Structures are given as structure tokens and as C-alpha cells.
Amino acid sequence: MKKKSTLVSRRFKSGRWYEVRADGTERLLRDKRPDWSRLDAMSDAEVEAAARSDPDAQPLTKAELKRMRRIPFAKQLRWAIGLSQGEFAERFRIPVGTLRDWEQGRAEPDQATRAYLEVIACDPEGVEMSLKRGEMGKLRRPPKSNVINLLDALRTMLSKPPAKPSRKARPRKRG
């Protein structure tokens, strides 16, 4: 009897899949593209009949669907960008623990954070560049000395019209 080991595969950052053999060596797996021509030639009814005839791919019942959990948006976004939790958290300045809580369903992002995640989903490179630009702007800005702060405060005070003196509230006579 031939002993067959379980196929273990690993995906590297390049997006390529490798087979990890029992002895620890790795082999690049071929990129298998599906042939959609047969499916394109079928009508919708034929596609449905073919799908239902497959015993391994039966549609889920309502009870099975109800039991399933949704994947949190933060996790879907991180997977779509192709980053690890640490990389995503560092790149977009989100604490790793918070990201982990969102992904495991222990916490939900608030409305402002949800909007931030949606902006990241639309343009991750743009958000990253903006964050870097903001960081560089802080470094280039010269620190204000106390004298400059004092001059700014005086300039602000002098540009405002003088405040009217407050009168004490007197009780009104009703008549």
C-alpha cells in the first residue's frame, strides 16, 4: 500500500502557491486557470441543473445559512489588500489588538472608524501616502518658540474688538 501524504500549500507575498512536501522541501504549483468556455456555452437552466446534480455542491438550507458567521469587514479588507494583521495595523495606524478584536468579532468599529476602513478599501495607496505626507509635514515644521507663541496670542487679542462689560442681571419688574 502506497502511503500518500497530505498536500500542504503555502502562499507567499508574491501571490504564488507552493506545495510543501513531507520532507520540508517546497515546489512551485502551476497556475491552473479555469476553462469557462463550457460554462459560457450553457444556458442558466443548464448551469443550475448541473450544479444541483453535483452531490458535493448542494445548496445550503436556511438552517445551515443561519448557523454561518459573516466575515467581519476589517478582515475582508485586510485579505483583499493582502496584508498580515501586523502590516495592516502598522500601515494604517490601527492598534493590532483593536484590529484583532474586530476580526474575531469581539468588538465592532464605530461609525468614524468604519468610514476610515471604507476609505482604505477605496484607495489603500492614497491613504498610506496621505499618512506618510502628514508625518513628514510634522517633521519639517519648525518648532515655535515661546516668543512666537506670545506674539501670536497678542496679535489675536488685538485683532478682536474689545469685549463689552457684562452687566449683572437685575430682576425684571412684572407689570
Least trusted range by pLDDT, from 6-15, 57-66, 76-85: 6-15
* Alpha carbons 59 and 57: distance in angstroms, whole number: 7
pLDDT greater than 50 at residue 21: yes
Count of domains observed in the chain? 1
* Alpha carbons 19 and 29: distance in angstroms, whole number: 6
- Tell me what pLDDT residue 117 has: 94
SS3 of residue 20 by DSSP: strand
Question: Is residue 83 a part of any domain in this protein?
Answer: yes
CATH number at residue 124: 1.10.260.40
Question: Is residue 77 a part of any domain in this protein?
Answer: yes
Residue 19: its H or E element: strand 17-20
Question: Is residue 46 a part of any domain in this protein?
Answer: no
Q: Tell me the pLDDT of the chain averaged across its residues.
A: 80
* Alpha carbons 90 and 88: distance in angstroms, whole number: 6
Per-residue pLDDT tens over the stretch 157-167: 666 665 565 56
pLDDT greater than 60 at residue 120: yes
Q: Residue 133 is part of which domain span?
A: 70-139
Confidence of residue 66 (pLDDT cuts 50, 70, 90): confident
